[in-house]
């Protein structure tokens, strides 16, 4: 331990005359910046440094003789105080609270000397002590609880009595742990020779009652000590280790509360890492002197030996410091009487008869890493390191130790953690010098784990070096064992797996080109492919699989979403030649492929010979594109057509040509292939039926029929029948068929003629015998056609008779029409005297003054002009004109009014010429009047207005006409603008 630096523990005089004249100090306790002093005159003096005040409590009042405070105790919070007074009047134990003025005597403990108190640190509060255990001079344990508001104890219970060796309990400590089924208590108690352990679940009473049936767990050490002390070191309100000032030495260890090892009451021995510090280590060769008091810090023991406090490191057991006290002359005789600790404030105190001294701690753990390191306790050393340089020193010691013991892999792991003590080059040279390539690789890998992500350059260099070391190791293993490749459990296989995992971890930091060159130079093709796939260099991966003949694996790579679609087209020719079935299945499973770009691959496959019964994979894929994907690419259709044309069976070709692929698509063509290319191809492959279909489709019917005649006359007839809209062309096509049929017949003349006549019947009258006569040879005899000619003449006679009959029917029809016209001119209707006008409801035959003369009409007798319709409705001429004008459209109304005006003008001139009198000659001689009147009759009286279209059209007219909109709007009821009007409710 470095003694040159600052001292860890320092002593300061806290108060010189702390007893304040109330006798001399006999005992002391501290907690939460509060110290309690017991004096020889029965006073308890309380100093509260937090509040800055002090209180004096006299416990000797009413007691005869001299009284002295035997022990004083305070809880960790500084609120609760227990003190025992010993004197001629007997022994009494008092409880007082920081807020109380008068202490309370615990009558049930009268006569019992309390040596120790164990507080329940986790549950105690300022207002309540909860469970407290008291240890007495006669080997008894009692439980007490006090609530400050009650002004007295809640209860005092007897818990336990030492039976086997009835000694005084000198010190007590208690810890609790909350578990699922309650609270577990851990209690440690010391006597001058033994350390007892108690534990159990439930209440304290239950825990100690269980020891009536079972033995108490204890540790016994030889020798005695006047003041046996037990201390817990408290860290974050939990006890973490203990120390017992025993006769044989300082027995100490760690505490593991909550440990369960199967016994129903838990493990009484909850102590770990037990050790004994012999007093001989404190005297440096002289006779061992036992300390008179002790205090415990995190890493040290403070031991009061004589008038000095020796600070001993708990781990190394070395004395690191000796604390000197400035004693007064009157205190020299007794010297320092004891030590006590304030766990809450982290302070220690020492006291003599008059004075109190404070022992402060200054970063006692700063050199603990070195202490642990000197003891080769590396985990403890690392746990106490404060900076990277200290950690480097620990790692260096570990690394050097492992290197010296030839555990190079372990050494490499520790060297990799060093950042400052040794350079990267120094460490690597250590392994290179001794030829430890595997350890060097381990060092590099661990170094990669410890480097920060920002060190990109160093990470890349180390990763590349590690890659080369892996490859070198793989090669060496191959040279050592030829069977390593096939032996799955070999070191070679494990290194390969490790290397692949390394490539996966470092794929983002390794330089792609450099790594691939390394892998290629060592001949590691599989690892090259694996790394290429990691780096998404899918072209290399697919190329490798194709070279290995593994088409399925190559296709699996190509189907990954991240693979560019262009690679599908690039490798399609090789893949389809390698495995056509799998390739086509993959194509059909890929949604975004463009079949046009696969045509070179399909052409290459199609150019190879195939067995007759073998499924043509390209045709399968093209049919999938055309039928399922509804592909419209002419190139795809042309290729499929060419493949169909090369098949021996032309049924598929004909089905393809007849199928209308664009059917049902708006403004789409019926087919997508090039008909001219299809025609050339079919002619080349001699697919004549297909050629006939293409000719017909291109409306080249003559060529279609001519070609069909070479294949099948029946096909030619079918083609000829397809022409329906052009009778002349159809007849011409049938003549071609007829000529071919006649010229091809090889039988006897009469037989040929009979067949020709039968063919005429098939044409359904389109061809006559005279049409086919030119096709027979000139030397054919007319007698051979006698029957056919006679039959033809008979047909003509029938047609002539039919025409005559139609002419007679037409003549009779004309006569009937003329008779109807004459009868129409003589038609009349009878009007009853009471008949009313349909418009004005006045009688038709009565002439009022207003109807004396209608404009444009001649009044005959006393009646106004009128119209009578066959349906029975009658109207005055003027009323009918007004009604029709009102109900018809504007243009028609103007036309009617214009005719009426012209009639009026012509009629007025006629009357003027005859001096106002109308004669029969004047009426009949005015030809323009008749013409105008006829036009007016057609305009207004072509149909009855009540029974004709005029009435039907009126249904759709609005009730309110546009010109009446203003009149309707004037009747609209609008809300009043007077906002102040009130609604008055009138009583009913």
Mean pLDDT value across residues 809-816: 89
What are the tens digits of pLDDT across the range 641-694? 888 778 778 787 778 777 766 554 555 566 777 778 877 887 787 777 777 777
- Measuring CA to CA, which residue among 763, 765, 769 is closest to residue 733? 763
pLDDT at 77: 92
Pull the structure tokens for residue 590.
């890929």
Pull the structure tokens for residue 519.
């892998």
pLDDT at 657: 77
What are the tens digits of pLDDT across the range 20-40? 888 899 999 999 999 999 999
**CA-based radius of gyration for the chain:** 65
In the predicted structure, residue 773 carries a pLDDT above the cut 60: no
Query: Strand 171-179's sheet: what is its strand order?
Result: 171-179, 182-190, 194-201, 217-220
Mean pLDDT value across residues 523-535: 84
In the predicted structure, residue 718 carries a pLDDT above the cut 80: no
Beta-ladder partners of 132: 119, 144
Euclidean distance between CA atoms 579 and 570, whole angstroms:
16
Whole-number percent of the chain with pLDDT over 70: 81
Pull the structure tokens for residue 108.
């049930």
In the predicted structure, residue 797 carries a pLDDT above the cut 80: no
In the predicted structure, residue 382 carries a pLDDT above the cut 60: yes
Least confident of 1-10, 456-465, 591-600, 652-661: 1-10
What are the tens digits of pLDDT across the range 736-759? 666 566 556 544 444 555 555 555
Report the run of H or E that residue 389 belongs to, with start and end: helix 388-404
Identify the sign of the CA torsion 704, 706, 709, 713. Answer: positive
Euclidean distance between CA atoms 269 and 255, whole angstroms:
9
Give the residue extent of every domain in the chain: 9-364
- Contact present, 6 and 362 (Cβ < 8 Å): yes
Mean pLDDT value across residues 52-78: 88
pLDDT at 164: 84
Least confident of 139-153, 343-357, 465-479, 734-748: 734-748
pLDDT at 46: 93
CATH of 9-364, one of 2.130.10.10, 1.10.760.10, 1.10.3720.10, 3.30.565.10: 2.130.10.10
Mean pLDDT value across residues 74-79: 93
Q: What is the mean pLDDT of the chain?
A: 81
In the predicted structure, residue 726 carries a pLDDT above the cut 80: no
The DSSP annotation for 760-823 comes to HHHTTTSS-HHHHGGGS-TT--GGGGHHHHHHHHHHHHHHHHHHHHHHHHHHHHHHHHHHHHHH
Q: How confident is the model at residue 45 (pLDDT cuts 50, 70, 90)?
A: very high
- Residue 2 backbone dihedrals phi, psi, to 5 degrees: -75, 115
**What 8-state DSSP symbol labels residue 859?**
-
pLDDT at 450: 86
Mean pLDDT value across residues 449-475: 89
Least confident of 354-368, 465-479, 498-512, 905-919: 905-919
Whole-number percent of the chain with pLDDT over 90: 28
Mean pLDDT value across residues 67-76: 94
What are the tens digits of pLDDT across the range 841-894? 888 877 554 444 444 455 555 677 888 888 888 888 888 888 888 888 888 888
**What 8-state DSSP symbol labels residue 1?**
-
Q: Could you tell me which residue, 225 or 983, shows the higher pLDDT? A: 225
pLDDT at 312: 93
pLDDT at 923: 45
Q: How confident is the model at residue 259 (pLDDT cuts 50, 70, 90)?
A: low
In the predicted structure, residue 917 carries a pLDDT above the cut 50: no
pLDDT at 71: 94
Identify the sign of the CA torsion 601, 604, 607, 608. Answer: negative
Mean pLDDT value across residues 792-817: 83
- Contact present, 490 and 439 (Cβ < 8 Å): no
């Amino acid at each position: 331990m470095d003694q040159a630096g600052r001292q860890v523990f320092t002593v300061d005089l806290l108060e010189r005359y702390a007893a304040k004249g109330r006798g001399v100090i006999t005992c002391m306790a501290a907690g939460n910046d509060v110290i309690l002093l017991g004096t020889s005159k029965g006073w308890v003096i309380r100093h509260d440094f937090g509040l800055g005040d002090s209180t004096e409590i006299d416990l000797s009042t009413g007691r005869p003789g001299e009284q002295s405070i035997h022990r004083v105790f305070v809880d960790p919070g500084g609120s609760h105080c227990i003190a025992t007074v010993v004197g001629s009047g007997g022994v009494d134990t008092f409880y007082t609270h920081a807020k109380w003025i008068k202490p309370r005597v615990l009558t049930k403990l009268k006569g019992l000397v309390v040596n120790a108190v164990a507080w329940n640190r986790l549950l105690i509060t300022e207002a309540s002590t909860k469970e407290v255990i008291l240890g007495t001079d006669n080997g008894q344990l009692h439980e007490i609880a006090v609530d400050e508001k009650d002004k007295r104890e809640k209860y005092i219970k007897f818990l336990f009595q030492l039976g086997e060796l009835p000694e005084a309990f000198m010190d007590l400590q208690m810890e609790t742990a909350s578990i699922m089924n309650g609270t577990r208590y851990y209690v440690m108690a010391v006597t001058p020779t033994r350390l007892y352990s108690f534990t159990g679940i439930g209440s304290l009473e239950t825990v100690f009652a269980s020891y009536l049936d079972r033995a108490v767990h204890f540790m016994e050490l030889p020798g005695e000590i006047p003041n046996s002390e037990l201390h817990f070191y408290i860290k974050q309100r939990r006890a973490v280790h203990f120390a017992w000032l025993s006769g044989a030495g300082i027995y100490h260890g760690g505490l593991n509360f909550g440990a369960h090892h199967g016994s129903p009451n838990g493990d009484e021995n909850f102590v770990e890492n037990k050790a004994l510090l012999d007093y001989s280590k404190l005297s440096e060769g002289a006779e061992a002197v036992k300390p008179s008091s002790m205090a415990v810090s995190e890493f040290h023991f403070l031991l009061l030996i004589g008038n000095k406090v020796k600070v001993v490191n708990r781990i190394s057991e070395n004395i690191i410091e000796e604390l000197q006290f400035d004693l007064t002359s009157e205190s020299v005789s007794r010297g320092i009487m004891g030590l006590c600790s304030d766990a809450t404030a982290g302070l220690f105190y020492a006291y003599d008869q008059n004075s109190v001294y404070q022992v402060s701690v200054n970063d006692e753990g700063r050199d603990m890493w070195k202490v642990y390191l000197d003891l080769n306790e590396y985990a403890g050393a690392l746990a106490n390191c404060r900076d990277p340089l200290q950690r480097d020193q620990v790692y260096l010691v570990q690394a050097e130790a492992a290197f010296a013991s030839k555990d190079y892999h372990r050494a490499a792991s520790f060297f990799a953690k060093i950042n400052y003590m040794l350079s990267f080059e120094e460490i690597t040279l250590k392994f290179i010098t001794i030829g430890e390539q595997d350890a060097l690789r381990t060092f590099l890998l661990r170094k990669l784990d410890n480097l920060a992500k920002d060190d990109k350059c160093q990470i890349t260099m180390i990763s590349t070096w590690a890659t080369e070391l892996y490859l070198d190791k793989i090669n060496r293993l191959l040279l050592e064992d030829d069977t390593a490749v096939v032996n799955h459990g070999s070191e070679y296989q494990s290194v390969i797996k490790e290397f692949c995992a390394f490539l996966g971890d470092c794929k983002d930091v390794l330089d792609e080109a450099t790594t691939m060159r390394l892998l290629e130079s060592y001949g590691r093709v599989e690892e090259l492919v694996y790394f290429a796939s990691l780096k998404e260099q899918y072209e290399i991966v697919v190329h490798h699989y194709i070279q290995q003949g593994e088409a399925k694996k190559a296709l699996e790579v190509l189907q990954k979403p991240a693979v560019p679609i262009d690679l599908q087209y690039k490798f399609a020719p090789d893949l389809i030649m390698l495995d056509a079935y799998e390739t086509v299945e993959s194509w059909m499973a890929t949604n975004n492929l463009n079949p046009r770009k696969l045509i070179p691959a399909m052409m290459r496959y199609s150019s190879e010979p195939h067995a007759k019964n073998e499924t043509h994979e390209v045709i399968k894929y093209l049919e999938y594109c055309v039928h399922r994907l509804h592909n419209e690419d002419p190139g795809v259709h042309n290729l499929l057509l060419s493949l169909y044309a090369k098949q021996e069976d032309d049924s598929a070709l004909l089905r393809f040509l007849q199928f209308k692929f664009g059917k049902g698509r708006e403004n789409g063509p019926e087919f997508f292939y090039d008909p001219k290319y299809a025609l050339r191809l079919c002619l080349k492959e001699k697919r004549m039926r297909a050629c006939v279909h293409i000719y017909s489709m291109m409306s080249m019917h003559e060529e279609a029929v001519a070609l069909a005649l070479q294949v099948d006359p029946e096909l030619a007839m079918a083609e000829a029948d397809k022409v329906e809209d052009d009778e002349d062309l159809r007849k011409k096509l049938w003549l071609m068929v007829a000529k071919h049929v006649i010229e091809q017949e090889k039988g006897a003349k009469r037989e040929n003629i009979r067949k020709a006549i039968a063919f005429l019947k098939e044409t359904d009258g389109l061809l006559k015998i005279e049409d086919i006569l030119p096709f027979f040879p000139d030397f054919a005899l007319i007698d051979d056609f006698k029957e056919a000619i006679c039959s033809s003449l008979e047909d003509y006679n029938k047609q002539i008779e039919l025409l005559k009959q139609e002419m007679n029917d037409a003549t009779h029809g004309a006569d009937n029409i003329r008779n109807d016209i004459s009868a129409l001119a003589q038609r009349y209707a009878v009007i009853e005297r009471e008949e009313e006008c349909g418009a004005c409801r006045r009688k038709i035959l009565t002439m009022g003054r207003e109807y004396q003369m209608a404009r444009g009409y001649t009044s005959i007798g006393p009646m106004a002009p009128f119209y009578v319709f066959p349906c029975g409705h009658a109207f005055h001429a003027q009323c009918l004109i007004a009604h029709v004008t009102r109900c018809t459209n504007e243009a028609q109304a103007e036309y009617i009014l214009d005719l009426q005006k012209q009639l009026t003008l012509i009629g007025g001139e006629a009357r003027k010429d005859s001096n106002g009198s109308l004669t029969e000659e004047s009426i009949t001689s005015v030809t323009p009047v008749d013409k105008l009147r006829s036009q007016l009759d057609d305009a207004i009286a072509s149909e009855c207005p009540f029974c004709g279209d005029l009435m039907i059209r009126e249904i759709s007219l609005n009730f309110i006409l546009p010109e009446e909109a203003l009149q309707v709007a004037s009747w609209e009821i609008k809300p009043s603008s007077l906002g102040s009007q009130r609604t008055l409710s009138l009583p009913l």
